[in-house]
Structure 1
Amino acid sequence: MSSTALAASTGLDFSLAQQLAVIALCALTAFLAHLALAVFNDGVRPFLLDFVQGRTTRSATTAVSFGLSAGFIFGLGAPMALASGVLNPWLLFLPTDILGLLAPKKWLAPLLGGAWGGVVVFGLRGANNLAHDLPVDFLTALQQMATPILFLFTLFPVLAITKQFGKLLGGLAGVVELALVVLTMKVWPDVFAGAPAMAVGVLLLIGFAVARDVRQRRAAERAVAGMVSPTGEEAPVVTAGRPSEDVDPMASLFGASAARLRRHLPLFMVLGAGICLLSQLHVFGGGEATSFLVAKGQYAEAAQVDLYRSLGFIPLIATTALASGAYGIVGFTLVYPIGYLLPSPWPALVCGALVFAAEVLALSWIGKALGRLPSVRDSSEHLRGAIGDTLHLAILFGSMLAAHAMGGGLGILIASGLYLLNEATGRVVVRMAAAPAAVVVTGIVLNVFYWLGLFTPIKT
């Protein structure tokens, strides 16, 4: 992983254009959060409907956002950025959710968001330099997370297939992915070995889901055909439910939410342009695995990983947006892979704006389509769960490797002890972020031990 180390050692130096892009985008996302038009945290979005309709206060909504986001910001977003040298959405957009909702005035929200962007682009460099100058360099140790994250993330389609379609098909997918990883390492050593395996795994999952939906639809058609009498007359069918002239309240809510988002289409187009630009500048990664791929300069592989990841979140983002009237700050995340692959900033601005426009305009259609494809919708839920499970294991394992790299057995003892203490006390820090946070605390403790003459840094 020497290339990762090289990328991360650049000290998070940003050009003026990159600094301005981050600051402007943070200002915009805070403004959208203030208006309750978009937030990054999927868990916060459902609460925004009550806020928009006046059933809860701004301070209460801000408290919810802070409670659901703080652990990810300091336990995952900051350590991941410092370890990879690449910014991520947890570090940028979870704080702007909070700051935007907190701001009592419209004009204050973008100022607070822009200030946070300034803290990120100017403060991370100082924190990075300070950490690397310490006797126990825990940031370099954190780069040990790269390999587990990249390779274990490859397994998420296998896990999703197993959960939805059983052990036989899951085992088959696992064998296929393993063979592809070995083949890629042997034949295409310059390609990230997990990329072709993930592609085939996701295609298998979608294929199994579509096949099940087709079978169920045909079975339903045969059942309807069986209701036709021998004379060719259709038997009378009694339908349950409300009279046809009644309005479905959920359909009415979805329509109002979609209309609310369409009214602010220009703002969303600017947002899409900004996120796509940030991705194109290659200082931003949309996910844990993607951050390290971008740091290594493997933009095609990063685009592929984020494209597959988006398949697990499109149904969630679409349904919560239609139910709450608030969109996702990063949309369906399709602008990530597009931005990674584009050659210059100007096409990124145009493509990002057009992609977000298409997403917002298509929300109602997507909601209806998901209702007609239950197995595909379930596949997205299984994908999202599988991504969480694989990343949790990868981050935990990588964090223990990092603890060992900087402190040997003592490092593992402290980091794993902090992790287990967090579990025993009801997860004060969310599980996904607990292990990296434990590594950072372990690094600080080991440095204190060094200054007290109780610990000698391990030679690397």
Structure 2
Amino acid sequence: MSGNLVAAAAGSTDLSLSLPQQLTVIALCALTAFISHLALAVFNDGVRPFMLDFIQGRTTRSATTAVSFGLSAGFIFGLGAPMALSTGVLNPWLVFLPTDILGILSPKKWLAPILGAAWGAVIVFGLNGANSLAHDLPVDFLTAMQQMSTPILFLFTLFPVLAITKQFGKVRGAIAGTVELVLVVATMKLWPNVFAGAVAMAVGVLMLIAFAVSKDLRQRKLERAERIANGDGAAEETPDDDDPMTSLFSASATRLRKHLPLFMLLGAGVCLLAQMHVFGGGEATSFLIAKGDYSGAAQVDFYRVFGFIPLIATTALASGAYGIAGFTLVYPIGYLLPNPWLALICGAAVFAAEVSALSWIGRVLGRLPSVRDSSEHLRGAISDSLQLAILFGSLMAANAMGGGLGILVVGGLYLVNEATGRVVVRMAAAPAAVIVGGILLNVLYWLDLFTPVKGG
């Protein structure tokens, strides 16, 4: 992707969808709400651990709904909606988090898909009207929010460096940072039409995995040597069949495999939505999809997968509820596929493989503790890099729409949220502040107390 494509005001934010796209969104929302109602899968990773008590009848549907709403509302209204409006691309926080809530909330099985479909209709018919209305305002805060693209895309590139530093120390982190910087500069110089962070992220993630696997292999070698020294050289590591966690994991995997056709349908639907290029799996991905850089988007979401496979696999095995997007491999696959029929087939096949392999993945992760730790560090690094990028990008948007006053309002709202215990989750607070600040600046304009920044 060339430098001018990264420029803030690139791309259309039109949210009008074709009839097939509208039907796909509505049908997928109906399906995800139904699956959530059955407690087979939820999108919010924070909700999944609570699903075991719900599945086993130790907590009520209303209590679980309250947990889901409490953990999801900030992301829906503070991140999902602003990102969709500013990029013109749908995202999982807007599409899947509400269907988590609606599915769990529904008292009847038949009602869940109706509620999900209703939310899908709100998305496909309501967002474009809100988008058009916002663009007609004197202070166009949605166009200003496109300023967020550059910091998100480039700071996100550093997440492997942060993960390596946290897990393996400053020296290896400095080496990884130097390698990534060299690769970004080289890519911008030699391949200006390629997203500059793509190669750097790939190498960074590979370095992290290499460090983790190397550490685990060394540890296993030492443990084997110790067993031999203690006279237990012939002893092999065997799973403890009496371990209650082993029994729970096995029961959860069996429960999910019983519903394999439903998961295959879900995988087909998610992959199809990604293939239509109206959906991005993450913050950086949404801007890349909006700019038409589907290969760049596929690379970004593919690298994220490494941070989420251990989390999703272990929480699914522990709770009996899978992820609505699985390991999220269907996102990058969908972006790259040439037609919807292939997306349906590949999405179904990927989910069938993921659900069938859950027990095996759990066993492998049990033998690779450093790789498991790398996943946690990757997720933390992704969160840290995006929090800074979104905050910085939001202040850039505030400056674009209101100059110093815009920065004062948006930055002030963010700081107030921090001081009051983060009523809105940190990652969603800054985009939400841009929207609230934009509305306030429009009110000041109508009161003849503010003149919009030229071009804002």
Q: TM-score, normalised by structure 1?
A: 0.96
Aligned AA for 2:433? A
The question of 1:48 aligning with 2:51 is answered: yes
Q: 2:389 aligns with which of 391, 394, 397?
A: 394
Instruction: Please name the residue that 1:415 is paired with.
Output: 410
Structure 2, unmatched stretches of 5+, are none
Higher mean C-alpha deviation, range 246-255 or range 266-275: 246-255
Aligned AA for 1:333? T
The question of 1:404 aligning with 2:407 is answered: no
Instruction: Please name the residue that 1:365 is paired with.
Output: 360
Residues 289-368 of structure 1 mapped to structure 2, 5 A cutoff: 289-368=284-363
Instruction: Please name the residue that 1:448 is paired with.
Output: 443
Aligned AA for 1:315? P
Instruction: Please name the residue that 2:63 is paired with.
Output: 60
**2:240 & 2:205 partners in 1: Cα distance?**
42
Instruction: Please name the residue that 2:257 is paired with.
Output: 262
Residues 2-17 of structure 1 mapped to structure 2, 5 A cutoff: 3=5, 8-17=11-20
**1:75 & 1:220 partners in 2: Cα distance?**
48
The question of 1:375 aligning with 2:370 is answered: yes
Instruction: Please name the residue that 1:122 is paired with.
Output: 125
Aligned AA for 1:343? P
- How far is the alpha carbon of 1:224 from its aligned partner? 1.8
From the superposition, tell whether residues 257 and 439 of structure 1 become closer, same or farther in structure 2 (CA, over 3 Å): same
Instruction: Please name the residue that 1:287 is paired with.
Output: 282
- How far is the alpha carbon of 1:244 from its aligned partner? 9.4
**Does structure 2 conserve the Cα–Cα contact (< 8 Å) formed by 1:88 and 1:287?**
yes
Instruction: Please name the residue that 1:84 is paired with.
Output: 87
Residues 163-312 of structure 1 mapped to structure 2, 5 A cutoff: 163-228=166-231, 247-312=242-307
**1:182 & 1:312 partners in 2: Cα distance?**
26
**1:77 & 1:288 partners in 2: Cα distance?**
9
Corresponding residue SS for 2:177: helix
**Does structure 1 conserve the Cα–Cα contact (< 8 Å) formed by 2:398 and 2:407?**
yes
From the superposition, tell whether residues 345 and 222 of structure 1 become closer, same or farther in structure 2 (CA, over 3 Å): same
Corresponding residue SS for 2:157: helix
**2:239 & 2:64 partners in 1: Cα distance?**
37
Cα deviation per residue 1:135-177 (whole Å; 9 max; x = unaligned)?
A: 0000000000000000000000000000000000000000000
- How far is the alpha carbon of 1:225 from its aligned partner? 2.2
**Does structure 2 conserve the Cα–Cα contact (< 8 Å) formed by 1:7 and 1:85?**
no
Cα deviation per residue 1:95-128 (whole Å; 9 max; x = unaligned)?
A: 0000101111111100010010010011110000
**2:234 & 2:205 partners in 1: Cα distance?**
43
Q: Which has the larger radius of gyration?
A: 1
Residues 420-435 of structure 1 mapped to structure 2, 5 A cutoff: 420-435=415-430
Equivalent pairs counted in the alignment come to 451
Q: TM-score, normalised by structure 2?
A: 0.96
Percent identity between matched residues is: 77
**2:96 & 2:179 partners in 1: Cα distance?**
37
**1:7 & 1:364 partners in 2: Cα distance?**
45
**Does structure 1 conserve the Cα–Cα contact (< 8 Å) formed by 2:13 and 2:85?**
no
Corresponding residue SS for 2:347: helix
**Does structure 1 conserve the Cα–Cα contact (< 8 Å) formed by 2:295 and 2:336?**
yes
**C-alpha RMSD over aligned residues:** 1.7
- How far is the alpha carbon of 1:219 from its aligned partner? 1.2
From the superposition, tell whether residues 15 and 214 of structure 1 become closer, same or farther in structure 2 (CA, over 3 Å): same
**Does structure 2 conserve the Cα–Cα contact (< 8 Å) formed by 1:7 and 1:84?**
no
Aligned AA for 1:370? L
Corresponding residue SS for 1:266: helix
From the superposition, tell whether residues 166 and 265 of structure 1 become closer, same or farther in structure 2 (CA, over 3 Å): same
**1:235 & 1:100 partners in 2: Cα distance?**
53
